[in-house]
Homo-oligomer: A and B are copies of this chain.
Amino acid sequence: MLFFEGSEKKIEVVLQPGQPSLRQLEREYWQQVVAKANATILSSVHNEECDAYLLSESSLFVWEDRFLMLTCGTTTLMDAVVSFLEQFPADSLAMLSYQRKNEYQSHLQKSSFEQDVTALQQQIEGVGYQLGYLDGHHNYIYHLDRPYQPREDDATLELLMYHINGDTAQYLRSDNQTLEGIRQRLNWEALLPGFLLDDFLFEPFGYSMNAIKGDRYATMHITPQENSSYVSFETNLEGEAAALVLNALLKTLQPDSYDLISFNQQLQLDHQPGIICVDQATQPLSCGYTMRFSHYLKPPSAERSADRLSL
């Protein structure tokens, strides 16, 4: 079994007003931050508001006063965060949040969430939560414990999909896939109109995509491996525009199980028939966001057999 840990670690930082622009830091600066996490920059796109870097393991988005970095696999994102905080210490920050979800194979990770937080606590004082049961899907967050007032349009959605099915899932695992073929099947042109797109196809498979339009972003990472498939989609799109994309992805990728995590946004998804919600939690955070977590799944309609392991 070819295993890759798709589950992301995520850091989001907003600077205090009066700090230098993060976009004016050299590309070399971000290269070095990304390298601390054991990732590299593959490509980038830029518009008037945002620099979007596609990484060997996920993504980095940089705005004037904030940045967002997602990394997967066995990356060491906290090392990148600690390195960033050496240059931008606690009193230059307006908001910091660090998120990590339960992994498929947490014993293969180089650090645990607890260890990450211990490193972070050398620099900032924060609060941590677990949303979702420990024995099921759950999401950890640790954030700077300091009042912050997010802008009205500062809302985030994370859709984390497991065990994808159907034609597109098959295509994503096939030998003959192309970037063009994936873009068409995921229908970016219709779902992200006017967005500047940057995407990458990994060998033997795996797909990453960044898209930006003004200060809006979308990012997707696909680990299609049978038995451990995982697809994450994240955006700060809101309302109808967000619902359009998320519902289309659920329909196209047909995940057996998925989590919806949101910050300052409540979205009703069009769940496919048979899908039920098995866990949910809501938590107002002192950093100004209300975080919501829901875990959905499709109970099996027929008896399944075991997966024989390649040992």
Contacts and interface: CB of A to CB of B under 8 A. Distances in A.
Contacts of A308: 127-129
Interface in A284-301: 291, 293, 297, 299-300
A248 interface: no
A112 interface: yes
Nearest to A291: B306
**Chain copies in the assembly?**
2
Nearest to A293: B306
Given A133-B256, A311-B128, A305 B282 contact: yes
Contacts of A109: 107
A67 interface: no
Contacts of A227: 134
Interface stretch (A24-32, A40-48, A51-59, A272-280): A272-280
A178 interface: no
Interface in A110-142: 112, 114, 117-118, 121, 126-131, 133-137, 140, 142
A142 B310 CA distance: 11
Contacts of A276: 276, 299
Given A304-B280, A304-B281, A130 B309 contact: yes
B309 A129 contact: yes
A133 to B, nearest CB: 6
A283 interface: yes
Contacts of A126: 311
A299 B277 contact: yes
Given A129-B306, A309-B128, A257 B104 contact: no
Given A121-B311, A140-B309, A227-B134, A303 B278 contact: no
A128 B308 CA distance: 6
Contacts of A230: 135
Interface of A: 104-109, 112, 114, 117-118, 121, 126-131, 133-137, 140, 142, 162-163, 227-228, 230, 256-257, 276-283, 291, 293, 297, 299-300, 303-309, 311
21 contacts: A104-B135, A107-B109, A108-B112, A117-B311, A118-B311, A128-B311, A130-B307, A131-B306, A134-B227, A134-B228, A135-B162, A136-B297, A278-B278, A278-B299, A278-B300, A279-B299, A280-B300, A281-B305, A282-B305, A283-B306, A291-B306
Given A142-B311, A277-B299, 14 more contacts: A106-B106, A106-B107, A107-B109, A126-B311, A128-B309, A128-B311, A129-B308, A133-B162, A133-B257, A135-B230, A136-B137, A281-B306, A282-B304, A291-B306
Nearest 10 A/B pairs, CB to CB = A283-B306, A128-B309, A129-B306, A106-B107, A135-B162, A131-B306, A130-B307, A281-B304, A128-B311, A107-B107
